[in-house]
Structure 1
Amino acid sequence: MWEILKQAGVDPAPDWASTTWADFLRSQADALLACDFIETITLNGQRPYILAVIEPATRRVRVLGTTAHPSPSWVAQAIRNLVMDLDDAGRRARFLIRDRDGKFPALMDEILAGAGIKTVLTGTRMPRMNSIMKRWVQLCRRELLDRCLVWNEHHLRHALREYEHLYNHHRAHQALDQAAPLRTVPDPITDPEQIIDLNIRRQDRLGGVLREYSHAA
């Protein structure tokens, strides 16, 4: 092999054609999606599963649904709805990162492949390969699920809709220079009088579990 490379004028460096996982994420950020399941428990004893997808480049989150029985047909329909939503939004994704959870059926990968999206599996016991999605799961638990008494699955869906709206439209992200996924950074206040007398309004969601702050018009 070394002789062949030498005759072709190619230096047989050990990593001359390798691509690291970090390089892949940076180069394909605009074309990436990542998904995961979250398990929680309600006050009536149910153990619903939440399926969510995030766009690593924009940090936008889509909660695809909740169910106590994540059957292959349910997951497949949730992915079909995602594909239609992406198409309506003009979003073109090429890869979807997920772990090797048995709740993800083979039909899911077929549906994604039909939409031009390749499934990329993370390594076994390597959650950092899906770190952005895992970080959102931790935020959802810390900011919502661990602070809210969820009565049943219907109440859980309502709470998740409220949190999804807050996360996408109001929650500032350091990775986005304090913008939100669906909101740009507001114009800075330069008038000294406005800086001295700031009029901030608070809007409570879910009885104050979630709070939004904004400048009064």
Structure 2
Amino acid sequence: MEAIPDPQAEHIVAVDFLHVDTINLKRIYALVLLEHRSRRAHLLGVTANPTGEWTTQAARNVLMDTDTTNMKFLIGDRTGQFTDAFDTVFADAGLRVLKSPPQAPKANAHCERMIGTLRRELLDRTLILNEQHLRRTLTQYLEHYHRARPHRGLGQLSPSQAETGPPPPVDLASHRIHHRTILGGLINEYQIAN
């Protein structure tokens, strides 16, 4: 089934926290931003203490590396870490900040779904040691998420394939397949060997 493009999706980004309990029972947080149209996810940072100042700095950092030309709306929840200063950083970049209603996760459904994917495919299967380990693990997973993981909203293409077009069909009988493991074998990728 072909995905129907949402004409507003290219203008929307969403932000949310996810929490992870380490093997030492210490809770750490990761801040992620999702571009609705491309399904590209950005890891804004990992910390044990997500203050308003930390969140604001993470917003500044991501905007330095992100093209916001087509972005018009930022969806976030009403958590205390999304301060007025955080909102101002995005407003100064030309985005209108929309706060979701209290206790309404469906208002930020795309980002919540992506966090659910992170949990099901990665975090429920990995023991996290500390902030550095979580940062490295999420970074490696997001590389896979962008390069090879199919998305229903993108017609079963990865975000990278959605930008460049699907790969051409090949006769598998005349080509070798290359197997690549990600995150110690938690994820396997296959591609045509050159």
Q: TM-score w.r.t. structure 1 length?
A: 0.81
Superposed structure 1 runs of 4+ greater than 6 Å apart: none
Counterpart-to-counterpart distance in 1, 2:70 and 2:58: 18
Instruction: Tell me which of 83, 86, 99 is aligned to 1:108.
Output: 86
**What does residue 96 of structure 2 align with?**
118
**What does residue 22 of structure 1 align with?**
none
Instruction: Tell me which of 57, 64, 67 is aligned to 1:77.
Output: 57
Check the 8 A contact 2:52/2:80 in 1, yes or no.
no
Task: Give 5+ residue unaligned stretches, structure 2.
Answer: none
**What does residue 11 of structure 1 align with?**
none
1:215 aligns with 2:192: yes
The alpha carbon displacement at 1:199 in A equals 2.7
Q: 1:101 to 1:34 in 2, by over 3 A?
A: same
Counterpart-to-counterpart distance in 2, 1:167 and 1:29: 19
- Name the structure where strand makes up a greater proportion of residues: 2
Higher relative contact order (CA 8 A, sep 6+): 2
Deviation digits for residues 11-52 of structure 1 (CA, Å, limit 9, x no counterpart) = xxxxxxxxxxxxxx9442111100110011111332110100
Q: Percent identity?
A: 37
Secondary structure at the residue paired with 2:66? helix
Instruction: Tell me which of 144, 154, 163 is aligned to 1:176.
Output: 154
How many pairs were matched up? 187
Deviation digits for residues 136-177 of structure 1 (CA, Å, limit 9, x no counterpart) = 010000111000111111111110110110001111112112
Deviation digits for residues 106-157 of structure 1 (CA, Å, limit 9, x no counterpart) = 1101111111111011122221111111110100001110001111111111
* Root mean square deviation, CA, Å: 1.7
1:204 aligns with 2:185: no
Greater Cα radius of gyration, structure 1 or 2 = 1
Counterpart-to-counterpart distance in 2, 1:46 and 1:213: 36
Check the 8 A contact 1:86/1:92 in 2, yes or no.
no
1:185 aligns with 2:166: yes
1:128 aligns with 2:106: yes
Secondary structure at the residue paired with 1:154? helix
Check the 8 A contact 2:141/2:183 in 1, yes or no.
no
1:61 aligns with 2:41: yes
The alpha carbon displacement at 1:181 in A equals 1.1
1:50 aligns with 2:30: yes
Deviation digits for residues 155-208 of structure 1 (CA, Å, limit 9, x no counterpart) = 11110110110001111112112221123321112xxxx233553222112211
